[in-house]
Structure 1
Amino acid sequence: MSTRIGVVTFPGSLDDRDAARAVKLAGGEPVSLWHGDSGLKDVDAVVLPGGFSYGDYLRAGAIARFAPIMESIIAGARAGMPVLGICNGFQVLCESHLLPGALTRNAHLHFRNRAQSMIVESTETAWTSDFAAGQKIVIPIKNIDGRFVADDRTLDDIESHGQVVFRYTNGNPNGSMRDIAGVSNAAGNVVGMMPHPEHAVEELTGASVDGLGLFTSVLRKLVAA
């Protein structure tokens, strides 16, 4: 029986099909979830993809946080279900208070689109166990609201509890505090990241295949559960 990974489509999602393809390449069964759904169709994990949900009106991710599907996702995440938020999905998870901090306009006020070097800081999450701590990876970014911010107390707290999952190297592309590119919740089942692993799963089209590790990690985690 294959592992079912739900991929949510909001109005304005751009990368839902790419995320579904990454799930399939990793060996999972992608399941389409619509923002207006009330249930999760018996999926084992959920991916919130990149894009501009609801046009990013008010703030990026602020309206999507109240989509009907999010009630089930929030409940599932709090019960231990693995959830990955990519770019706009990261913004939605922060707006939902499933992850600490917030994502704001890039410090240089420009859209940034490039292959980005990062270091894997934590392999203790449901989405990063197939990496090695300290491993350097390259994954594309494309954002204008990608600056991770939090107060000093929150930053110190997530650092001390190992919740920084990815950190930018060779230049901070958006001014994120402490070069943070991705974080997790305390339990490690919820991860948000600004770079796009779904665009780094095939040598023909990606800057690398480093992104595939997130999807193989969660499949391995679920099979072992």
Structure 2
Amino acid sequence: MKIAVVVFPGSNCDVDLYEALHTVCRADVEYVSHKQKSLAGFDAVMLPGGFSYGDYLRSGAIARFSNIMPAIIEFANEGKLVFGTCNGFQILTEAGLLPGALKQNNSLKFICKTVELEVVNNQTPFTSLYEANEHIKLPIAHADGSYYAEKDVLEKLEENGQIVFRYAGENPNGSLNNIAGITNEKGNVLGMMPHPERAVEALLGNEDGLRLFRSLLANGKKTEEAAR
């Protein structure tokens, strides 16, 4: 399984994602520039956190028009795995690959801390190694992480099991329905505000994010074959 980590101007978690997959999980990973127009040969795509294009205009709004984005949209529409964390989640919503939007935190402040999450849906390619309703801890670091969607969209997310992670206990940013991560209807695109790539080694104090990447690697080939 070959994985692309897309690098935009202003990305600052691309190395974290690469090292989590390559060094910790021993996966075949390559950096892919935002200037490229093809994802041929890749089985999964990762969109990192950071401040793509300086977060000018709106978080993720300019990155949505990068050269690589048509290939990412096609990749997702083919049923292949796409993952976005933090700014990557924002880009996925701006591109229409995930519903809703990420607005400014209710506190109007940048928040950097470890939060508790509930694994709401463990029946996705990204969460199959977690237990249903398991509580885990992952870091967050964002100013625009409050998930918003219209009432009918929220109801659809709930009914379809598209809410994968919720904030458990404290809601750090005001996200509706305590949403921390969602998938598209097919379940092959996941966006989340917390950073699992920063919680993959005991040396860092937490390994709760490791099973997300191991789930992806375990299910990636199955998803690729099903998409053919």
Q: Which residue number in structure 2 is paired with residue 114 of structure 1?
A: 113
Identity rate, percent? 48
Structure 2 match to 1:171:
170
Q: Does 1:126 align with 2:89?
A: no
2:92 aligned counterpart, secondary structure? helix
Q: Is the 8 A contact 2:43 2:221 kept in 1?
A: no
Counterpart selection for 2:213 from 188, 192, 215: 215
| Structure 1 residue ranges, 4+ long, deviating more than 3 angstroms after superposition | none
Aligned residue for 2:13?
15
Is the CA contact 1:10–1:54 (under 8 Å) kept in the aligned structure 2?
yes
**TM-score, length-normalised on structure 2?**
0.95
1:49 aligns with 2:48: yes
Q: What SS does the corresponding residue of 1:156 show, helix, strand or coil?
A: helix
Residues 17-61 of structure 1 deviation map (CA, whole Å, 9 limit, x = unaligned): 000011121231111100000111411100000000000111000
2:151 alignment counterpart:
152
Task: Deviation per CA, 1:146-203: give whole Å up to 9, x if none.
Answer: 0000111110110010000000012001000010000000110000000000000011
More moved, 146-155 vs 119-128: 119-128
What TM-score results when the alignment is normalised by the length of structure 1?
0.96
Q: Tell me, in whole angstroms, the C-alpha distance in 2 between the residues paired with 1:180 and 1:61.
A: 19
Contact 1:120 1:165 in 2 (8 A): yes
The amino acid of 1:15's aligned partner reads C
Give the whole-Å Cα distance in 2 for the aligned partners of 1:181 and 1:121. Answer: 10
> Matched residues in 1 for 2:127 and 2:75: separation?
19
Give the CA RMSD over aligned residues. Answer: 0.9
State whether structure 2 residue 61 is matched by structure 1 residue 65: no
Runs of 5+ unmatched residues, structure 2 = none
Which residue number corresponds to residue 199 of structure 1?
Answer: 198
Alpha-carbon distance, 1:123 to partner: 1.4
Cross-structure match for 2:32 = 33
Contact 2:165 2:181 in 1 (8 A): yes
* Partners of 1:31 and 1:43 within 8 A in 2: no
What is the CA–CA distance in structure 2 between the aligned matches of 1:157 and 1:223, rounded to whole Å? 28
* Aligned-partner SS, 1:204: helix
Other structure's SS at 1:118 match: strand
Do 2:125 and 2:216's aligned partners in 1 also have CA atoms closer than 8 Å? Answer: yes
Partners in 1 of 2:163 and 2:37 — Cα distance?
A: 31
Aligned amino acid, residue 62 of structure 1: A
1:103 and 2:89 matched: no
Structure 1 runs not aligned, ≥5 long: none
The change in CA–CA distance for 1:32 and 1:41 in structure 2 (over 3 A counts) is: farther
Distance 1:99 1:122 in 2: 16
SS of equivalent to 1:68: coil
Determine the C-alpha separation between the residues in 2 that align with 1:27 and 1:189: 22
* Aligned residue number for residue 94 of structure 1: 93
Amino acid at match of 1:66: F
The 5 A counterparts of 1:128-143 are 128-143=127-142
**8 A contact 1:120–1:167 mirrored in 2:** yes
Code of the aligned partner of 1:183 = I
